[in-house]
Amino acid sequence: MIPRRPEPELMLEPEQARAYAEADFATPHEGFVDAFAEAFPGRVTGPVLDLGCGPGDVSLRFAARYPDCEVDGLDGATAMLAAGEALMAGHPAAGRVHLGEGCLPADRGPRAPYATIISNSLLHHLHDPATLWQAIVRDGAPGAAVFVMDLRRPDSTDAVQALVAEYAADAPDVLRRDFEHSLHAAFTPDEVRDQLTAAGLAGFTVTVSSDRHMTIAGRLQESL
Ligand SMILES: C[S@@+](CC[C@H](N)C(=O)[O-])C[C@H]1O[C@@H](n2cnc3c(N)ncnc32)[C@H](O)[C@@H]1O
């Protein structure tokens, strides 16, 4: 197994943010919402917190699937939020999606506590992964549904290169570079299980969901 190589937390470069916002993430992001629906069947109502929302593509897809919810997205990078303006413009669910600037662990969702918390591709950016799990415990209501998806770190540099070739061959240089760095920065399912145990979330389930992704799902404890 190759060692983890962290990358910068915030995606601050405008060129990087633009390339990310313009990329076609329809398959993994719709897959995110499908996998949420499988883990938590039924309606979603009220405010939802999307941690590390970036340009808001997942926030919008989630709001479109669940018409009775509103999504509060939180991200520390102005460039990513600005790059999302084009995605928001004219989107039928945009009126129920509110993206705001905020950096973990200092900032929190504006309507905490939330009954639903989602996060896609934030975990591998964090130098200290406990930041995500502590924010979820802090900002989640008792019994909250929590759903996180992230990349998994491959076993070898060759496996990293193979995934970059398969999924980013035609992508702009900046996106290909970011994907490679992200695979090196990602955690393994076993590392995430250890993080969850340390955060008091050992009841959460970690599932390998594709050749490069894992999902983490569970409910916060009900209050006693
Ligand atoms: C790979 S992007 C994912 C964006 C979005 N969730 C998506 O799936 O398209 C990761 C995002 O996390 C943000 N981020 C990283 N560290 C953060 C922190 N400590 N607090 C808030 N946002 C953070 C980055 O700025 C970036 O926009």
Q: Is 104 in the pocket of ligand 1 (CB under 6 A)?
A: yes
The helix-helix angle for 26-39 and 57-65 (nearest 10°) equals: 50
What pLDDT shows up at residue 188?
A: 98
- Decide: 9 in ligand 1 pocket, CB within 6 A: yes
Distance, CA of 77 to CA of 6 (rounded, Å) = 17
Mind listing the pLDDT tens digit for each residue in 156-213? 999 999 999 999 999 999 999 999 999 999 999 999 999 999 999 999 999 999 999 9
Phi, psi of 185 (to 5 degrees): -90, -10
pLDDT of residue 163: 98
Q: How much is the average pLDDT of 93-118?
A: 98
Q: Which amino acid is at 17?
A: A
> Tens digits of per-residue pLDDT, 63-82?
999 999 999 999 999 999 99
Confidence grade of residue 223 (pLDDT, cut at 50, 70, 90): confident
Question: Percentage of the chain surpassing pLDDT 90?
Answer: 99
The region of weakest confidence among 36-40, 41-45, 86-90, 104-108 is 86-90
- The whole-angstrom separation of Cα 51 and Cα 59 is 10
Residue 116 has pLDDT above 80, yes or no: yes
Could you tell me the pLDDT band of residue 90, with boundaries at 50, 70 and 90? Answer: confident
Instruction: Looking at the CA of residue 25, tell me the nearest atom of ligand 1.
Output: 9
What the chain holds in terms of domains, given with CATH numbers, is 14-219 (3.40.50.150)
pLDDT surpasses 70 at 115: yes
Helical H segments across 40-156, by residue range: 57-65, 78-83, 85-88, 130-139
The predicted model gives 20-41 an average pLDDT of 96
Residue 121 has pLDDT above 70, yes or no: yes
What pLDDT band is residue 224 in, cutting at 50, 70 and 90?
low
Average pLDDT value for residue range 4-17: 96
Q: Could you tell me the pTM of the whole model?
A: 0.98
Question: Which ligand 1 atom minimizes the distance to the CA of 126?
Answer: 16
Ligand 1 center from residue 55 Cα (angstroms): 9
Span from the CA of 5 to the centroid of ligand 1 (angstroms)? 17
Q: Is the CB of 56 under 6 A from ligand 1?
A: no
